[in-house]
Structures are given as structure tokens and as C-alpha cells.
């Protein structure tokens, strides 16, 4: 089943420098509006908005368009497997994304965006069982947490908010 394949994927990827969600939270607390991007085009506020949108999709709080949904049905599992084979340091820079997670071009409040992201992180951290992801299909919450960890860690490094060893 999809769930068994999803769990096997996570199990096979355990050694890829997955950042624990507790370290993600600590790094988010250290992030400031003064952090400058090392690559890409987003501001720090837009990066947070992008991650909020991504998290809302994962948690079923935001819908995707029919084209993104179709792309997910066709290639979602392969894309997920590829993403889970990476970590925040090996994920390619400046890769495109789907339209539903493009950040707002409006003025964004840093603290509001960071707070929203931390609340979504807490919700994902407390989730159990499975989630029906509109792009990747049915995935375990463990898979969703790993996906979140890779994605957020990648963007934190993008803005020079690296993970301290502790």
C-alpha cells in the first residue's frame, strides 16, 4: 500500500542528516528580519510565507489547483521519493515550485509569518497516523515531518540561519 511504501521511504532515509523538529524550532527562534538570503529571490518574510503555505497544504488547510493535483497524481510519489533522498544541504538551489506555495507579493509581517509557521510546525509535530497530501497522496505523519524538516532546514540555511550543534 502507499502507506507502507511511505514508511519504507522514511526508514531508508534515516541517515540523511534529518534535522530534528526541536532544532528547527530553535533555528526559527534565532531567525530575524535582518537575515539576508544567500541565493534565490525571496525576502525572509516571503520565505516564511512560502513555508506557511507549504505546511498548510500538507495539513489539509490549503487546497491545490487541478493542474498541481494532476501533476501530483502523475508524478507525486516519484517526486516525494526524490525529495526524501536529499537533505537540507544536498537539495538543489533555485529549484522551481508549484504556484500554490509561491509567496505573497504583499507586505508581510515577519513576526506574524514566523508565529504562523511555528504553530503549523507544532500541529504537524503532534499529528499521528496518516495525512492525505494533495500532491504526494497518503503519507505517514513521519514522512510529512521529514519533508517539513528538509524543506524548512533548506530555507533556513538559505538565509544564513544554520543549525548549531548542541
Question: pLDDT (tens digit, 0 to 9) for every residue of the chain, 166 residues total?
Answer: 555 544 444 444 444 457 888 889 899 999 999 999 999 999 999 999 999 999 999 999 999 999 999 999 999 999 999 999 888 888 889 888 889 999 998 999 999 999 999 999 999 999 999 999 999 999 999 999 999 999 999 999 999 987 654 4
pLDDT given for residue 151 in this prediction: 92
Cβ proximity of 3 and 135 under 8 Å: no
Q: Within 10 A of 131 (CB to CB), how many other CB atoms are there?
A: 19
Cell of 28: 526559527
pLDDT given for residue 129 in this prediction: 93
| CA gap 162, 155 in Å, rounded | 10
pTM for this entry: 0.85
- Beta-carbon contacts of 52 under 8 Å, excluding residues fewer than 6 positions away, are 113, 116, 117, 120
pLDDT given for residue 12 in this prediction: 41
Q: Within 10 A of 84 (CB to CB), how many other CB atoms are there?
A: 21
- Beta-carbon contacts of 121 under 8 Å, excluding residues fewer than 6 positions away, are 21, 24, 25, 28, 55, 148, 152
pLDDT given for residue 159 in this prediction: 95
Cβ proximity of 63 and 130 under 8 Å: no
CA dihedral sign of residues 92, 94, 96, 101: positive
CA dihedral sign of residues 31, 112, 119, 2: negative
Amino acid at each position: 500500500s502507499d502507506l507502507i511504501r511511505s514508511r519504507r521511504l522514511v526508514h531508508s532515509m534515516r541517515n540523511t542528516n534529518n534535522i530534528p523538529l526541536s532544532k528547527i524550532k530553535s533555528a526559527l527562534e534565532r531567525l530575524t528580519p535582518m537575515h539576508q538570503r544567500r541565493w534565490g529571490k525571496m525576502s525572509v518574510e516571503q520565505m516564511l510565507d512560502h513555508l506557511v503555505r507549504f505546511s498548510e497544504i500538507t495539513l489539509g488547510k490549503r487546497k491545490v489547483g487541478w493542474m498541481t493535483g494532476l501533476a501530483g497524481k502523475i508524478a507525486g510519489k516519484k517526486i516525494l521519493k526524490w525529495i526524501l533522498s536529499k537533505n537540507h544541504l544536498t537539495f538543489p538551489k533555485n529549484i522551481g515550485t508549484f504556484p500554490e506555495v509561491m509567496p505573497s507579493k504583499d507586505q508581510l509581517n515577519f513576526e506574524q509569518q514566523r508565529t504562523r509557521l511555528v504553530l503549523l510546525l507544532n500541529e504537524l509535530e503532534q499529528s499521528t497516523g496518516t495525512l492525505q497530501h494533495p500532491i504526494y497522496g497518503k503519507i505517514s505523519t513521519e514522512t510529512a515531518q521529514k519533508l517539513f524538516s528538509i524543506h524548512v532546514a533548506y530555507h533556513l540555511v538559505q538565509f544564513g540561519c544554520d543549525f548549531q550543534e548542541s
